[in-house]
Amino acid sequence: MSTDITAVAVPVPMDRRRRWLWPADVPVSVLIAGMVLVVMAACALLPGLVAPQDPALINPTESLLRPGGAHLLGTDQLGRDVLSRVVHGAGTALSGPLIIATATIVLSLALSLVAGYFGGWVDAIVGRGVDLLYSLPPLIVAMVLVGVFGGGYWLAIGVLIVLNIPQNVRIMRAAVIERRGLPYIEAAETLGVSPLRIMVGHLLPNIAPVVAACFFLRFTYGIVDLSSLSFLGLGVPPGSSDWGRMLAENRVQIFENAWASIAPGVALVLTAVSANFVGDWLYEHFERKGRTR
């Protein structure tokens, strides 16, 4: 009658670790989107290697050439090579949104963890502050401020960072609160784990999918927001090879060389859509992995 019971080892599939590194079930769309992002990143990091010419080289004799020959995408009004300018534009197109997304997410995450974990008056203060910010439309405030105080690229980025906090706090705080009352958090409390460690060590890994999703969404919006600003002539200085700016400068010559305005537009859309695809898939993937049953 007294046979003791010890747990029997259940074999775990051995390929679990490998699959984490390279998941076998990546859909083709995500694979393509990922490759687009890699290409864009290469352009941003080493434009000199990819671009056939100097993007700022003005050559009035070759202005408004149609695609072909030495200029794969033709030239603009000043005779600058469109392809080279698109390649060089990747730098500002990616770095700005990256900064915005990273900074916004870090700030929002800190606020969400503190507000969601402690609750009470801390939550109330953060909540009302966020509500206040929510009432300001980011792009319009950025336009006004940059317009009034002069074309500060960094001012635009700063405004977009701060004004994008509310949406992220709403989402991430809800995710924190959802897990805050779960027994594993309470167990950590009864063991005497410090609040900071609970927030960073226990809550953060469990809301990581949400954070990743927010990051990519912010990144996508950042691309569009910043390009909108430079399209309107705000933000980046004139002459720089920014996609939004190129769209604005070259749309007048759309009948001479349509590619000069189509190419930066396509690059914009491709990058934004690809980031969205990858972000969406990452969220789903981690969410599935993190599920306990």
Partner 1 sequence: MDITGGLHVRGLNVTAGEPPAAVAIASGITFDVRPGEAIAIVGESGSGKSLTAKAVLDLLPGNLRAGGEIVYGDHDLGQLPARERRRLLGRELALVMQDPFTMLNPVERVGAQITEPLEDEHGRRLDRARRRQEAEQRLREVGITDPAVVERYPFELSGGMRQRVGIACAIAQRPHLLIADEPTTALDVTTPHEILELLGGLRRTRDMALVLITHDLRVAFSVCDRVYVMYAGSVVEAAPAGELSAAPRHPYSLGLLLADPPVDRRVERLVGILGSVPVPGGRPTGCPFAPRCTFAQPACVSALPELVEIAPGHATRCRRIDEIGDELARRRREQAASAVIAPADVAPAPLVAASGVRKVFAARGRHGLPTVALDGVDVHVGEGESVGLVGESGSGKTTLGRIFVGLEHASAGSVAIDGVEVAGRRLTRADREAVRRTVQMAFQDPYSSLNPARTVGATIAEAVRLAGNDADLERKVTALLERVGLPAHYARRRPAELSGGERQRVAIARSLARGPRLVVCDEVVSALDVSVQAQILNLLRDLREELGLAYLFITHDLAVVRQVTDRVYVLCRGEVVEEGPTARVLDDPLHEYTQRLVASVPGATEPVPLLEDLGLT
Binding site for partner 1 (CB under 8 A): 1-10, 12, 182-184, 186-193, 201-202, 205-206, 208, 290-293
Task: Return the number of other C-beta atoms located less than 10 Å from residue 265's C-beta.
Answer: 17
Whether 63 contacts 78, CB under 8 Å: yes
Residue with tokens 């950042």: 222
Residue 254 backbone phi and psi in degrees, to 5? -60, -25
Q: Are residues 176 and 116 in contact, defined by beta-carbon separation less than 8 angstroms? A: yes
> Smaller CB distance to partner 1: residue 137 or 205?
205
Cα–Cα distances in angstroms (integers) from residue 211 to residues 102, 116, 287, in the given order: 11, 14, 11
> In the complex, what is the shortest distance from the CB of residue 253 to partner 1, in angstroms, rounded to a whole number?
54
Torsion of CA 28, 34, 37, 39, to 10 degrees: -80
* Cα 38 from chain centroid (whole Å): 14
The amino acid at 128 = R
Of 60 and 192, nearer to partner 1 (C-beta) is 192
Nearer to partner 1, 4 or 25 (CB): 4
Distance CA 189, CA 191 (A): 5
- For residues 3 and 61, which CB has a smaller minimum distance to partner 1 in the complex? 3
